[in-house]
Each structure stands twice: as C-alpha cells, then as structure tokens.
Amino acid sequence: MSPRIEPEAGPPGRHAAGLFGPAATRRDGNGHALHAPVLVLNASYEPINVCAARRALVLVLKGIAMTEEENGHFLHAARIAMRVPSVIRLLEYRRIPHQSRALSRKNILLRDRNTCQYCATVLSSGELTLDHVIPRSRGGSSTWENLVACCHSCNRRKGNQFPGEAGMKLMREPRAFNLHTSRHIMRLMGRSDDKWRKYLFY
C-alpha cells in the first residue's frame, strides 16, 4: 500500500508525536510532501543542513534524529500515520568540517539558487543545465569556480566562447559551496517558513 499524505485533522496521537517533528511547510496536491525541505540541526541546535522530508523521516525512524517542528501533515502507511517533519535535530553531536561540499550538479544549482547566472531567470532543476565559464575545449575544468547554473537558451548563446566574447556577464563570481554559503541559503529558505526562523536568525 503506497503512503498517502494528508493534512492534520486533529490532535496528534501519542505514537505519532513521539516519532516525528519538523517538516517543511511546502506541499503540492500530488502528495510530494516527502520532497519538501527539512532543516537539520546538530545536537547543539546549530543549523547544519537541509534535506528532503523522506530522508528526515528515515533519520528519525533510525533513532539518529528527533523532530523539533512539524508541518501539519501526516504520512499514512499500512499500519501507522506518521508526522512529516519540518525541523529535525541530531541526537549526537556531529563535527562539521569547514570544507567545501562535494562538487555535484545538485549542489551547483543549490549554490546558484536555481537561477541562470547569465540572465537571472529562476527555473526548476530540470530546466537548467551547467555551463563551464571557460569552455572545456579551451582549457576549462569542472570546478566550483568554473561551473554555474545556466538556462538552455543562454547555454546555446554562449556556446564555445568566453562570456565576454558572447557579450554575456555573470551575475556573481562562482565560488566553492562552503559552510558559510550553506547557512546563507538556509536563511533565505527560512524566510518563508516561520518554524525555521527561530533556529536560523539569532
């Protein structure tokens, strides 16, 4: 039986409340609440990451984290209705290295906030590609400093040229995705979720 997401209809049962907590407030009509963003706190309540609600539920079920805030929706499985979290906290303190995140398409788009770095258009992940600022054919490498989010139109326009040659300009200089960048993005996301704010703005 496939899980079903429903809005909260009344006071939570003891079992559900003990299992889950924070969840992202976004939810669409197709039941995609499991893909909503969840704020992850260290055991010290320091914000350290954002993950999908599905991952947050797994961490809670495994006893790695506990729910601090809920989003008002339930995940209905075969035998239990579970709360979808909006904010979770790790039960054991994790040391977070001050080094860059793994270089990946997902992290590049997150760093650039799903915004084409040439025309400033905000698009879904599927409508964006990655552009090598210095084309690979001209010595450019696949690094944080040389990869940016780009719409397909700008990607075709730029082609195998440097931005200046194509009459284009980057919105900002691309940099590695570090802890400071992560926290800045968390704060931007938290502006639309009141349940995140008390953990992000202090």
Regarding pTM above 0.85, the answer is no
Give the mean pLDDT of 155-160.
96
Domain layout of the chain by residue ranges: 4-96+180-200, 100-177
**pLDDT tens digits for range 162-194:** 999 999 999 999 988 766 677 777 777 776 677
**pLDDT tens digits for range 87-110:** 999 999 998 766 557 788 988 988
Tokens of 159: 């082609």
Please name the CATH architecture into which domain 100-177 falls.
Orthogonal Bundle (1.10)
